[in-house]
Structure 1
Amino acid sequence: MDLLSRLLHRDGLMLVIDKPAGVPVHRGPKGGPSLEDAFDQLRFGLPRAPALAHRLDKDTSGCLVLGRHRKALDRLGKLFKTGRVGKTYWAVVEGAPEGDAGEIDLALGRLDAARGWWMRPDPLGLPSRTGWRVLGRSADGARAFVEFTPHTGRTHQIRVHAQAMGWPILGDPVYGHGRREGAPPLHLHARAITIPMQDSKPPVSVTAPAPEHMREALAACGWRAAADALRELPNASEALKLVD
């Protein structure tokens, strides 16, 4: 796997890569290939390969942060744990959210021990909050393009919250209709991340382009590739007025 071509950000402390969908970030109990297998490509002269600062689900694409050494990993771990890392996700959902924006405040707990990481709404579970806003809708109203902003970091938080609202993420094999034969892959993308890595410097902000497998469904909900390309450029806010 070529990770060099997927590098979005590099500095002395961390890297951000554009994780491809369908690849686990690390080896599971059954083994098999994972993203970590290719981390040696990203050493850039350091004696050790970078390591994961957090994780994304196997079928989720987008911004994935790696720490380049132990001190950086310790700093990143604290930032993620204390909720100081800003995260933005894009998704295509099945259904029609009422209104254009809101916040989901719904505690989550384990479904049961046998299901591993599967989660469910649970009033006795851990507090979980996710902001959302609709960025576009399909002409028939059957799908919507939604931006999610998780304020807590629970396992599968966005996926469970979307299901609980009545609009599961397109292609979700666990919480949606993705187990059907011929179903599309999960349409969930870690669009952007903001990391206040050093208090004396501005936060590092990184954006990952819309993945190929989501572009058709996004376009059907009003997304335009030209506008998206402008958003990936620095200081693009003025240029966006010409296309949005």
Structure 2
Amino acid sequence: MSKTLSNKNNLQVLHEDNHIIVVNKRVGDIVQGDKTGDKPLSDVVKDYIAHKYNKPGNVYLGVVHRLDRPTTGIVLFSKTSKALPRLNKLFAEKNIEKTYWALVKNAPPTEADTLTHYLKKNPKNNKSTAYTKEVKDSKRAVLHYKLLKKLDNFNLLEINLETGRHHQIRCQLASIGCPIKGDLKYGFDRSNKDGGIHLHSRYLSFVHPVKNEPVSIEAPLPDDALWQGCLE
């Protein structure tokens, strides 16, 4: 597994081969272009590929999944049209393992549990609401969490997603009284200075779409004192 750092775009590449590229997303990066007009991570990765391989013209890059703008961690892209539909199928059929770390102030009710809710998205405020029973236009959301570590003022949770819904981790954790540090939208009392939240896509495991070999990725934690304290 290769790890390189492109200083030009401050892009941390966690894994790269002929068909895929995996990067460690920073707080504030958007994966795909939106109405803000800010340069998306997908374009930064295209620039990196064009520069590294001296490619003229347009660079192909397929967006396989997304992370919310205030979150950090693993984002997987396809470098070839052959790999993209296979990666999409892996995600659609849940044959890809995604593990997140989150820092929350309140300890969860139990040290490990499975949360099942029905999430309904409100496009007007870009927020989801969790219900215990199915309601109109809601989608079933399932995650598994466990308490990894107790810090002085926060608790480190590890989360495995069974479904991939809008703001799923943020919304479901908030619904059990554990909003993520910095997440004003879901009930945390203060924002983080950098505008991010302490939610990090930590591990990704899957079978390579072309080589048929297992791939396991780990994304280093952001360089802030609280995250780094999780490793002590």
Counterpart of 1:15 (choices 7, 18, 21) is 21
| Residue 140 of structure 2: aligned partner | 127
* Backbone CA RMSD of aligned residues: 2.4
Q: Does 1:73 align with 2:113?
A: no
Aligned to 2:64: 53
Q: Does residue 148 of structure 1 match 2:154?
A: no
Do the aligned residues in 2 keep the contact of 1:3 with 1:17 (CA within 8 Å)?
no
Determine whether 1:216 maps to 2:226. Answer: yes
Tell me the distance in 2 between the aligned counterparts of 1:36 and 1:94.
33
For residue 48 of structure 2, the aligned residue among 17, 21, 41 is: 41
Whole-Å separation in 1 of the counterparts to 2:59 and 2:39: 20
- The structural deviation recorded for 1:105 is 0.8
1:177 to 166, 170, 188: 188
1:62 lines up with 2:73 in the alignment: yes
Q: Aligned to 1:174, what secondary structure does the other structure show?
A: helix
Residue 42 of structure 1 aligns to which amino acid in structure 2?
I
- Report the identity percentage: 29
Who is 1:88 aligned against?
Answer: 99
Change (3 A) 1:164 1:75: same
Structure 2 residue aligned with 1:26: 32
Matches of 1:21 and 1:183, distance apart in 2: 7
**Corresponding residue for residue 12 of structure 2:** 6
Relative to structure 2, which stretch is displaced further, 59-68 or 28-37? 28-37
Cα–Cα, structure 1 residues 217 and 204, in superposed 2: closer, same or farther, change >3 Å?
closer
What's the TM-score, normalizing by structure 2?
0.84
Whole-Å separation in 2 of the counterparts to 1:15 and 1:4: 15
Q: 1 or 2, which has the higher helix percentage?
A: 1
Number of matched pairs: 217
Contact 1:170 1:184 in 2 (8 A): no
- In structure 2, runs of 5+ residues without a counterpart are 1-6
Runs of 4+, deviation exceeding 6 Å = none
In the alignment, the residues of structure 2 paired with residue 34 and residue 11 of structure 1 have an alpha-carbon distance, to the nearest angstrom, of 22
SS in 2 for 1:6: strand
Structure 1, unmatched stretches of 5+, are 226-244
Displacement of 1:10 in angstroms is 0.9
Tell me how far apart the structure 2 counterparts of residues 182 and 5 of structure 1 sit (CA, whole Å). Answer: 21
Does structure 1 retain, via aligned residues, the 8 Å contact 2:78–2:84? Answer: yes
Is the strand fraction higher in 1 or 2? Answer: 2
Identify which of 145, 150, 173 aligns with 1:137. 150
TM-score (ref. length: structure 1): 0.80
- 1:59 shift after superposition: 1.0
Q: Quick one: distance in 1 between partners of 2:85 and 2:173?
A: 32
